[in-house]
Structures are given as C-alpha cells and as structure tokens.
Structure 1
C-alpha cells in the first residue's frame, strides 16, 4: 500500500460528512418548527415526531463521530506510511475502513427512522381525511 490508497478516501469521507451535516441542519430546522407548532397546538402526533427526531439526531451524531474518526485514522495511516511503518499503516487503514462502515450503517439506520417518521405523518394526514 502506498500513500495514495488512504488519500482516495479523503473526498468520499468529506462528502459523507457534508451530507451528514446537511441532514443535521434540516432536522434542527424541523425541530424548531415542531416546537413552535407544539406551543400553539399540542398533539400526540407532534410528540411522536419529536421522539423520531431525537432518535435521528442521536444516529446522525454517531454517524458524524464515526466518519470523523475514519478521517483521522486515514490521516494517521498516511503519516505511518510516510514514516515507512507499513504494518501499523495497514492496521490503521483497516480501522479507518471499519469506522467508515460503522458510519454508513448508522446512516442506513437514520434513513429507516426517517421513513418511519414520514409514514407516521402520512398516517396522520389519512386519519384527518376520514
């Protein structure tokens, strides 16, 4: 393995972190909106949505932590390769890939929760029609 191998992960991890940050910002906006809406008209549906959003925030925070740790391990891998510590670099790169995988698993989990929250909202709309 040479120094360009871990460097290939830099753009991928950076894009993932950007996407995770965007998700976080959208959820923060939604929470503020629901908070205001709940003050005006409290309902069980809003409380359920807030619960889903809380779970999503936790998942996004874990995604971000795992992604940042993957990025750090990638940088340390490059430093180990620079010092010709090939064995340590291989271990660090493997750890970086595992952390990236963990980040992606949390992302998948967050998408599932998001889908459940949307279904809850759709069900609420359907109930109001009837």
Structure 2
C-alpha cells in the first residue's frame, strides 16, 4: 500500500489501515532515510481539516506548498524551476517535483508526492511512495 491522506483528515499509512486525524498542528506525514538522504514531509491541516501547508524536506533542502504557491528556501518560485537539488515542472494539469539528491527510482518519491498538490485550498489526495 502507498501511504496517503485525503479529505478532511483521512490518513492511510503504509500498513493500509485508515484512520482519521483532526488537528491543525503540523505533523510528520512520512520520514525516511535512503542512501544517507533524509526525507521528511510535514503536513498542516487548516480549521476545515483540509491540508493547508506541506513542507517537503530532502537533506535540509526545503520546499513548502501553501495557498497554491511553491516556496523554495523561503522564496516564492514559478515553474519550471531547476536548481542543484530539485526540478519542478508542469506535467499536464499537475505540477511535479523530482529530487536530484535521491538516487535511482527513489528520485521519483517526491515527484509522486507533489502530483496532486498544487491546487488552491488543496482538498486532494496526497500520496507518498515510489513511482518507477
């Protein structure tokens, strides 16, 4: 199972069991280390329960998704965006991100994570997993 969250608080971890989270406090949605690269995804839900902010941190290189904006290291950016660590680009109606720090198929982890995320007010599913 991939882990995912959707709606106003439904969360499904890697075990596949679903549960409901109702809080407007930031929480770590997923954390892992692969080949000495640390990945932490922190989510915050608004008063409505919908995701209002996500922070994707890959080896301390931070991207925030908030109110339909992409913020890289505290600077608002537009797509396409390239730097030493990540590539953010339009993919049809979606915006994707690929990490240049994660090796091989793991580089697609954050890309899949951002797949449905750049819609204002973000009432959509957020997936985490590996897309090959």
Q: TM-score, length-normalised on structure 1?
A: 0.23
**Structure holding more helix per residue:** 1
Q: Higher strand proportion, which one?
A: 2
- TM-score by length of structure 2 reads 0.23
Larger of the two Rg values belongs to structure = 1
- Structure scoring higher RCO (CA < 8 A, sep ≥ 6) equals 1
